[in-house]
Amino acid sequence: MAAIARNATPQQRVLVELEDVHKRFGESAAVEGVSLNILEGEFLALLGPSGCGKTTLLRMLAGLEMSDGGRILLDGQDLAAVPPYRRPINLMFQNYALFPHLNVYNNVAFGLRQEGISRPQIQQRVSEMLALVRLEGFGRRKPHQLSGGERQRVALARSLAKRPRLLLLDEPLAALDRKLRGETQFELMQLQRKLGLTFVIVTHDQEEAMTVADRMGVMHRGRLVQVGTPAEIYEEPNSRWVADFIGDVNLLEGKVLASERQRVVIDTPMCGRLRANSSAACKPSDTVCAALRPEKISIACEAPEASHENCIAGDVSEVGYLGDLTLFKVHLHDGFIMKASAANVARRTERPVAPGDRVWLSWSADALVVLTR
């Protein structure tokens, strides 16, 4: 079933509507039955693995690819007959596509000249855009004289110069190093809010999508499988695939023993009996999967006073120190490897957990998400 965005609020009306959009390349379906509302003024991220159709969908919005079926509407107008250069939509490419023989000023001004805008208006607009991306004084430089982050800003200024209703960004930060990418993510968010424009970003970087986006659309094999806020998709995935794709997770499969009053009891071979606070539509004997995020698990070197549900013992096989948190891989009795993590809130740990240690893992019933598909 196609995923459709939540209803727009009075402050955020629908700007773009995709209705059952399809696109095939030969025998391969690149986009299959995508329906989605993009709200005016929102920052939407399309997230998915390589080949899932997210860039094809972006190119159809820009008019660089034509759909094989369905409709794309902007402000209620069908865009099928509108060529790319007539759409109030700009696409910022992954490689920035700057003209190497033009300086920064002329790169930003290029699209404005194509529109036949007067020279004084171009000068004013280019100055505004360079100030917006904090590149005042860079107008005479050529692209090869700029850093990667500066080239990215020039491409962004050029994309914004024509004042589009919708800005499409195709992996815009992929060429930047990790630290600069993190800084630029927040700059993009601030810029989008300042301008009040609608941004759609395509990325395979989950952290990037969750940082910048108001909502995310997760794609898989040409389909839009879930749409929601980053918190909704991370905390309430609608399938095993989404749970496994977004972040790190333990997937515990088992049979339902009882399901009533938002309480589900599951018998699993790896963790025994699990108790989950869940309203999932399941019944006794159904096979389900309980998703458990590593950070929801408590890890202790001593056994609890009394055994209870949602607790299991195991042996630590690997420990990964990442500065802000520590990751643990724990072997359970049947060979299943459980992943747990703990925030490093203190400067030193009196009794660090080490490989080979016997530990006890426990979690609350609220930490489990019961997935029926």
CB 232 within 8 A of CB 239: no
**Can you tell me the distance from the alpha carbon of 361 to that of 256, in angstroms, rounded to the nearest whole number?**
22
pLDDT for position 361: 94
Instruction: List residues bridging with 321 in a β-sheet.
Output: 326
**Can you tell me the distance from the alpha carbon of 301 to that of 315, in angstroms, rounded to the nearest whole number?**
10
Architecture of domain 14-241: 3-Layer(aba) Sandwich (3.40)
pLDDT for position 165: 92
pLDDT for position 162: 86
Q: What is the pTM of this model?
A: 0.87
Question: What ranges do the domains of the chain cover?
Answer: 14-241, 248-371
Beta strands in the chain (DSSP E): 14-25, 28-39, 43-47, 69-74, 77-78, 89-92, 166-170, 198-203, 215-220, 223-228, 250-260, 263-268, 272-277, 287-292, 298-300, 311-321, 325-331, 337-343, 358-362, 369-371
* Chain CA centroid to CA 292, Å: 20
Q: What is the CATH number of domain 248-371?
A: 2.40.50.100
CB 344 within 8 A of CB 325: yes
Query: In a structure prediction context, what are the per-residue pLDDT tens digits for the chain, which is 373 residues long?
Result: 344 444 445 467 999 999 999 999 988 999 999 999 999 999 999 999 988 999 999 999 999 999 999 999 999 999 999 999 889 999 888 777 889 999 999 999 998 888 888 999 999 999 988 988 888 889 899 999 998 888 888 988 888 888 899 999 988 777 677 787 888 888 888 888 888 899 999 988 888 999 999 999 999 999 999 999 999 999 999 999 999 999 899 999 999 998 888 898 999 988 889 999 988 888 898 899 999 999 999 998 888 876 678 899 999 999 998 888 899 999 998 889 999 999 888 766 556 888 999 999 999 999 999 999 8
For residue 84, what are its two tokens? 């790319």
**Can you tell me the distance from the alpha carbon of 196 to that of 165, in angstroms, rounded to the nearest whole number?**
10
**Can you tell me the distance from the alpha carbon of 211 to that of 191, in angstroms, rounded to the nearest whole number?**
14
For residue 111, what are its two tokens? 């699209």
